Amino acid sequence: MAENLQEQLFEWFQWFHRRPEPSGAEHGTTARIKELLRETGIRVIDTGLETGLVARIDGSAEGPVVALRCDIDALPIQEDSGLPYASENAGYMHACGHDFHLTAMLGAALLLNKRRGEIKGTVKLVFQCAEENGGGAKQVLETGVLEDVREIYGLHVESSRAPGVISISAGPVNAAVGGFRALIKGKGGHASAPHECIDPVSAAGQLIVAAQTIVSRSTDPFDKVVLSITHVEAGNTWNVIPQEALLEGTIRTLGTEQFKTVAEQLGRICRGVDEIAGTVTEYNWLCGGPSVDNNAVLADFAAKTAESLGLTVMPAVPGMGGEDFALYQERIPGLFFTVGVGSPQAVHHPGFRADPAPLHTAAEFLAELGIRSLVRPV
């Protein structure tokens, strides 16, 4: 069974890997997933989603509803992996392993369908669009299709771990991601008469340097925080002090609470620089996505389930990237785990290469989580 399943999954994986589609435009991918589910007799729920879909597998008995989630979009990257089944869509690549995720979910769908007799309730399978630009999870949630879901499980590939290794940790495993904008308003004038001006450029300089003390001086050394100023703009010639200077940047923290602390501290620094320089700074920040924060009970349950299947379980590799699975977790207790795919390059790199060998492992683990979570004592 495992060998046949692996062969089937590898064939599907290659099909999807050759045809990456960007966030929100996963039309071919969606159509193919629907076709494969239909061939198996699995029902796709009418959600009105343009891309992506939600399927459901009802078991033999009434019971709760749980969800398994994968994502299906690719990235605007020119592939340089050397794979014989590399992207045929120039400029796009499955560089985040979402082709692996969706193929593993299709495998789980096959397995669950065969084991309907063991399903005590309903398993919903979420094939989510547009993870990379952050809009997909919101779209799925807005359809209301997950309103009856008791718990949700999601997977991601992990390039740095050996193929098939499952990584699970309770608590935050991905960053809360957002940005800030500081528009420093001064008073422009002749560069020969700085005393008659309020120079926003020197204020911006002070702000850039002082902002770096947030991570080094104001943050608990055990917290994970990134603060980068990535956009600086002021003036357009050599002999004029400009009116304004603009700074933009990103804040990333492991844990959503920490994000607010860092963003507010940067606001205090803006006010401090204004006090010294005489500038007036318009400061705004926005946390675009919360931190993936794993439910401790589900983490323990999932780790034990993986171990019972003979899988190697390790603690999660925390990352400072964002992941919109966090939006589901704001409403539904959830667990996000990774499957090692031993890639020579990390995700989002043109040379990323997921080892397809653990596709069936991921499928079996997902199916098992679906079946066992329905009878998990709560």
Positions touching Zn ion (CB under 5 A) are 96
Could you give the C-alpha distances from 26 to 30, 33, 127, 338, 376, in angstroms and in order? 6, 11, 11, 23, 35
Q: Find out whether 215 and 234 touch, Cβ atoms under 8 Å.
A: no
Nearer to Zn ion, 173 or 273 (CB): 173
Burial of 167 (0-12, 13-18, 19+ CB in 10 A): buried
CA 148 vs. chain centroid, Å, equals: 23
The CB-nearest residue to Zn ion is 96
Shortest distance (Å) from residue 156 CB to Zn ion: 6
The dihedrals phi and psi of 51, each to the nearest 5 degrees, come to: -130, 160
Shortest distance (Å) from residue 297 CB to Zn ion: 25
Amino acid making up residue 62: E
Nearer to Zn ion, 181 or 348 (CB): 348
Shortest distance (Å) from residue 20 CB to Zn ion: 12
* CA pair distance 317, 322, nearest whole angstrom: 14
Nearer to Zn ion, 55 or 96 (CB): 96
Shortest distance (Å) from residue 235 CB to Zn ion: 36
Nearer to Zn ion, 156 or 247 (CB): 156
Which residues fall within 8 angstroms of residue 213, CB to CB, at 6 or more apart?
Answer: 269
Shortest distance (Å) from residue 328 CB to Zn ion: 15
* CA pair distance 365, 355, nearest whole angstrom: 17
- Of 371, 373, 356, the residue nearest 104 (C-alpha): 356
Within a 13 Å sphere around the CA of 32, how many CA atoms are in the beta-carbon half?
Answer: 20
Nearer to Zn ion, 96 or 292 (CB): 96
* Helix, coil or strand: residue 309: coil
Shortest distance (Å) from residue 322 CB to Zn ion: 9
Nearer to Zn ion, 194 or 344 (CB): 344
Nearer to Zn ion, 17 or 261 (CB): 17
Shortest distance (Å) from residue 102 CB to Zn ion: 11
Q: Find out whether 232 and 206 touch, Cβ atoms under 8 Å.
A: no
Shortest distance (Å) from residue 92 CB to Zn ion: 13
Within a 13 Å sphere around the CA of 6, how many CA atoms are in the beta-carbon half?
Answer: 11
Nearer to Zn ion, 22 or 64 (CB): 22
Nearer to Zn ion, 63 or 351 (CB): 351
Shortest distance (Å) from residue 326 CB to Zn ion: 13
- Of 67, 41, 65, 69, the residue nearest 121 (C-alpha): 65
**Which spans in 219-337 are helix H?**
256-277, 296-308, 325-329
